[in-house]
Chain A
Amino acid sequence: MLKPEQMSRLLIVASKDQMAPVVTELYRHNLFHIEDYVEAGAEGYEGFKIGSPLPGATEASGDLVKIRAIENAFSIRSEDFEVKQRRKQSGLQVLIEHELPAIEQEVEGLTVNRSKLETKLKEYEQKIAELTPFTGIPGDLDLYRGYSRLVVFAGYVEKEVSLSVPHEMFFSKGKGRHFTVVIAAVEQRSVVEGALQEAGYQAVPIPDESGVPQERISFYSSQITLIKKEIEDINQKLDAIKEKHADFLVACEEILKVQVDQTEAPLRFATTNETFVAEGWVPTNRVDAVSDSLTNVTGGKIFITVLPIDLEHDVVPVEYDNPSFAKPTQMLMDVYSRPKYAELDPTLILSIMFPLFFGLILGDVGYGLLLLGMCLVLRKYLKVDDGAQLLTVLRNASFSSILFGLLYSEFLGFELPWKPIMFSRHLKIGGGEAGGQGPAIPELMMLAIWIGILHITLGRILGMINHARQDHGDHRIKAVMANFGWLAVMWGLLIVIWTIAALPLMPDLTSLPKIFINLNAAAIVGAVLLVTGVILIARDSALEIVELPTIISHVLSYARIVAVGLSSVAIAMVVNFIAIGMLISPQLEHITVVGVLFIIMGVVVFLIGHALNMALGILGGGLHSIRLHYVEFFTKFYKGGGKKYSPFGYKRRFTED
C-alpha cells in the first residue's frame, strides 16, 4: 500500500544455444523487464557485444510488414477487433506460409487496379473540365488546328474584343468572364494578341480531341460512370476478402509480432562468443517462479542470480501495486507522472479523495444517476484502455455524487423531500419557490478551508516521509524539518487567526485571557510556531521564503470546491425556474394551443439546460478535483518521473499455443 510493487534485479547467464528457449520462456511469463545492454563499456561488461537476432527474424519481420500493409489497405486495427475464437498457433504457421502470399497477391492486384482506375478517373475528369468552355462555340474540335496560314486563339476575356483586321470570332458569354475563339491570318498575330491582351486575355489550351465538344463530354461522362462502377466492384471484392480473412490477418499479425519480439530480443542482451547475459527486473514475489521455469527449460544449464539494488544509481521500473478499486485511478497518476521506485505512491489516497471532492462539487442525485448511467453505457462500447479506466473513475465519482446529493438534498436543482442534512446549497432563485432557507455560504466556505488544511497537512506529512526515505545525510534532516516548518507556519497562522476573529466551524480563541501586550496564550503559541517554521524552512533553502504566501493561496484554493459546486447548483435552479416557473406552470392552469407550444418550449429548455449543466458539472467537478490534487496536494511531497515497468512479453488475444 502506498508503495510500488517490489522489484528484484535479475541476472541471467547461459550459453548461446540456450538463448531460444530462455527467450521463449521469458516471453511466456511476461514478467521480465529487460534492461537494454548498451555497448558503452559498462563496468564488468568489457569485451561483451550486443547479441544478434535469432534465426527467422528477417522472414518474420518481412511477413509482419506485409500483413500490416494488407491490414492498412483494409483499415483493420487489431485493437478494435472482437475476439471470436482463439486460433492454434501451429495451424496458423502453416497458413501463413501457404495462404498469406495468395492473399497478398490478390489484395495487391486489386489495389493496384484500383489506383490505376482512380488515375484514369482523374484524367477523364480533367478532360471534361478542358472541354467544357468549348461547348458554347459551334463547330467541330478538328477545326481548331491544322492550319498553316491561320492562327487560332482560345481563352477567356473580361470584355468584348473588336479587331480591325480580318478575322472570325466566336463568343460565348459567361459570368464575369467570357469565352472567346478568334481565328485570324498568321501575319496578324501580333495585332490580335495586342487587342486580346487589352481585354484581359487568358489562354485556354485547345483539347487534343476530334468531334463535337458536347459529344466528347458525354462520352467521357459515360466512361467515368463505368470506371466508378469498376472501382465499386473492386471495393466490394476487397470488402469480401476483408470479411473472410480479417480474423486470420489479426491472428497472423499477433503470431508474427510475437515471433519478431522474440527473435529480436538478443539485440538487448550482452553476448560473448559462447554465452549471453541478460539483465532485467522482475517483481520480487515472482522471482522464484521465473527462475524455476528457466532452470526447467534449460535443463539446469543456466545461471540466475538476484543482484543487489543500488537505489541511487539504478533506475528501477515501477509497477503500481494497488487494491483493485484503486487501479483505474492509476491512469490519473500516469497523466501527472509515475512515482519513482522509492517514492510514496499516492494512488490510493487519490482514489479515495478524488470521488469525495467530485461529490462535494457535483453533489446532485439526478446528475449522479445520469453520470452513472452514462458511464455504464459507454463502458460497453469503449475498448481503449485509458478511456475505460477514466470511465471507471467517473463511475466511482458518480456514486459519491449521489451520496452527497442525498446529503445536500438536491435532485437536478430541486429539493428532495427532506431538509439538507449537510449544509444547504439551495440558492434563492425564482422568488423562493425553488428552495428553502438559502445557502449556508460561510459554513460551506469554512468546510472547504478545513478540507484544504487537512489535505495539505497530509501532503506535508507524506513529504516528510518521502524525504526521510529518499534523501541522505545532512540534507535529509533539513528537508524533513523544512516540511515540518511549512506545517508549523500554516498551523501557527491558523491559531493566530483564531485568536483574532471568531469564525464559523473553527475554534474560537478570542476570549482567552491576555498575557502579554494584548496577546493571549494561543496567539503566542501561534506566533512561536510561525517563526520556528520560517526558520526551519530557511535552513533548508532561504529562497523558499518567497513561497510563503502560497500557504494562504493554496488553502484558499480549496474554496473552489464550494464555488464551482454553487455555480452548478445556480445554473440548475435557473434552468428549472425558466423551464417550469416561467414557461410550463403558468400554461398548465388553462391549456390553450399557444400554451402547449410554451410547454414544449419549456421541456426543451429543461432538457438542453440540464444537459449543458451536467456537461459543465462533470468537467468542472472532475478537473477541479484533480487539479486540487495535482497542484495543491502533490506539490507538497510528490515528484514522480519513475520509469514504467514494461515486461518482455505480450498478452495474446487471438491465438494460443
Chain B
Amino acid sequence: MNQDPHYIKGMLERLKDLDDLTRTMQEKFEGEGNRNKYAWMVLPFLKAFYVKKGTTDDVVQRIMNIVSSPIVIAAFGALGYLSLITTIEGILAQPYLYIGIGIALYLYSVIVIFFRQLDFKDELFDLHAFKAIHPSLYQSFQSFSGTAPFSFNSLHESIRTILEREQQTGIEAYTELKAVYEKLEKLTEERDLLIKDIEFYEANLSNLLSVYDHSLKLVQASIDNGISKDILYLYCDYSLFEKTGDMLVLKEGHHTYDIPKEISLEDAEKQNWAIIKACLAQKEKDLFQIDIRNHQVSLAIKMNVMQTVYVYSFHFPEREMDRLIDRIMRDELHSLLYHCILLYNKEKEG
C-alpha cells in the first residue's frame, strides 16, 4: 500500500470528484429504464428541435404575431390553397429533392446530437445509446445504481472513518507508550543509581577490609616487636624518603631499583617529580602529587611523623591507574599509612 500522504490525500480528493459522475449515472439509470431500446437512433432529429425549443418558441411567437393580423390571415387564406396545390405538385414532380433535403437534415441532426447522447453530463444523454456504443462500461456502471447505490462520497467517508479511528488509536497507543517509557526511564535511572551505590559500597567495604587486614598485621607486628619494612607495603611498589636538610633520602622501597638513593630538593631536572613537589608543598591540598614517566605512575604523599618529614610514593604502571587511584585516595588508607610510618619511625628510633 502506498503510504505517501500526498498520494492518500490525492486519492481522497479524487473520490469526491468522481461522485458527480456516479450521481449522474444513478439518475440516468432510474429515469431512462423504460424507454424504447432503439429510440436513440431516430431521436437525434427530434432532440435537435428540443434543444432549440427556446429559440423556436421566440421565432414562432413573432411569426404568430404577424400571421394573426386579419389582413395576413385573409392573404394566407387565399394563398394557402394556391401554395398547397403548388407544393403537392412540386413534391410529386421532384420527390428526390425533398427526400434529399430530409436526409440531409437528419444527418445534420445526427452529427450534432449523436455524440451528446453518450455524454453523462449532457441533458441529451441516452442510456440505450450508451449501452449500444459502450456495452462494457454500461455493465460496470450498472453497479452504481440499485437499492443501495454506490457512492464515492460514502467510500470517502468510510475511508475517513477508518483513518480517524486509526489516528485515534495511534494517539492513544502513543500516549500509553509514552507514559510507560517515562516510568521505565525513571525506574532505569533509579536502578542505575542503585547499581552505582552498590558498586561504591562494594569498593568501600573492600578497601576497609584491606585496611583492617593491614591494621591487624601492624598490631601483630607491634606485639611481636617485629616491625619490618613489610608493614610499609600496601597495594603496590613503593618508596619512602626522609627529608634531611635539602635532601630526600631513600629509606625503604619495594622494587624501586632505578630510584636514586638521594635526591636534592633543588635539582632542577627533578622539580616535576611527584616526591619533590609533595615535599615542597605548603598547602594541605598539595600534599598529594602525581607524575607519569614512561607509563609509570608515581603518587607521592607527604607526612609529618614525630617531627620528621617523610614522603611516601606509590609506584604502579599507568594501566593500573583507574583501579588503584580509587583505593589510594581514601582517608582510611592515609590514616593507615600514617600509622605504618609512625610504627616504622618508632622502630627506627629504637
Q: Do these two chains interact?
A: no
